A = this chain, B = another copy of it.
Amino acid sequence: MREVYVAGIGITSFSRLEYPLVEIAAYPALMALRDAGIKKVDQVYVANMGSGRINGQTGLASAVVDHLSLTPAAAETIENGPASGASAIKQGYMAIASGMYNTVMVIGAERMREVNPLEATDFVATLTHPLAEYIYGITLPSLAGMFARMYMDKYGVTSRHLAMVAVKNHKNALDNFYAHLHEDITIEGILDSPEASTNNPFVADPLRFYDVCPVSDGGACIILTTAENMKKLNKPMIKLAGIGQATDTHCVHERNDPTDLLAVREAARQSFAMAKIKPENVDVAELHDAFTILEIAESEEVGFFKKGEGHKALEKGLTKIGGKLPINPSGGLKAKGHPVGATGVGQAHEIVLQLRGGAAKRQVKNAKIGFTCNFGGFGNNVVCLTFIKEN
């Protein structure tokens, strides 16, 4: 199996973007080509969830490869809901490791603004089971609300812990130019002040407005290549060292214990095993905090903290930049934003930036091993990646 390295990266603002979906995909791709110092690739993957449904465009990858003048490169669109991005990176890895292609561009792009904001939740709910969940009113926020309530009851997590995730990640996002939300929130402001009930209303009890990620447009790109090609490029040797993926029951209510995120556990285990490292070796991580409770739960399931102790690690400040294991230095989905199909590529972008030492004010010192957890559906399809900086 050939080893696979990161040749270049690019990203757009995660925000409300005015330009068409194809441009949202092309912009970070051009940045990544320039970053890598190359002009051609053999294969383009575009991770996207909603182009057919909300943008009226299918065959997105074919349109993008032409728009970038990269024909006749092969091109496919990869869809795995909110985990589309890391899934596409996995395909890129296998394309190179198999010897089929030498240089692969992986783009994630989503243009959500074409959905009426009131219908965005409905669009994302096309991920739920149409007959056993959705018709009963289940949406992703409602699943997350029920999950949070069970988790809080079982492990003593409080609304204050959830708010601490939001405050930490919003703070990190202040130093990320590309983040969607640049808003310096405090526990006092969103929980304790008299205005809290109006500026931070309940979305899906116990989750409030500031527990939920924004609806973002955005794109990100990562170019992968062989060790041999890396010799020609003057770039740090960031290796895509581990990949893990696991699925779980489509319906959350079919799980023996809904607070157990089996797919997260299994995906992380595979990723660490492939990279030949342990969770405690990780220096920086991007976890899928579409809802604040998920950052806490995932930090335990992937093995950073014992089950039920993620919120204690948060309390102690271990997951802040400067702490033992900074989580979501980019701002996470919570504050950096969540352009669905682009999110996993965005997470990888942040980790590569951190391992290159290029994250400026939000830099995690001496970061050599980075990890991402990209969470599809409500934990029914999870992809975890491990990146290692070689000397």
A residues at B contact (CB < 8 Å) = 1, 20, 49-53, 56-63, 65-67, 70-81, 87, 90-91, 93-95, 97-100, 126-127, 129-131, 243, 245-251, 262-263, 266, 376-377, 380-381, 383
Contacts and interface: CB of A to CB of B under 8 A. Distances in A.
State how many copies of this chain the complex holds: 2
A144 to B, nearest CB: 16
Contacts of A74: 90, 245-247, 381, 383
A368 to B, nearest CB: 24
Contact of A94 (B60, B87, B100, B130): B100
- Secondary structure class of chain A's binding surface, majority of residues: mixed
A66 B377 CA distance: 12
B52 A76 contact: no
A331 to B, nearest CB: 25
B49 A58 contact: yes
Q: Which 7 pairs, one residue from A and one from B, show the smallest C-beta to C-beta distance?
A: A97-B98, A98-B98, A72-B246, A52-B53, A59-B81, A74-B245, A66-B250
Contacts of A77: 78-80
Nearest to A82: B59
Contact of A250 (B63, B72, B76, B250): B63
A165 to B, nearest CB: 25
Nearest to A246: B72
Given A66-B380, A72-B263, A76-B80, A50 B61 contact: no
7 contacts: A49-B52, A52-B53, A59-B81, A62-B247, A74-B247, A91-B94, A94-B98
B100 A100 contact: no
Contact of A59 (B70, B76, B80): B80
A249 B66 contact: yes
B62 A376 contact: yes
B58 A79 contact: yes
A247 B66 contact: yes
A100 B91 CA distance: 10
A293 B289 CA distance: 52
A130 B111 CA distance: 15
Contacts of A383: 74
A269 B66 CA distance: 21
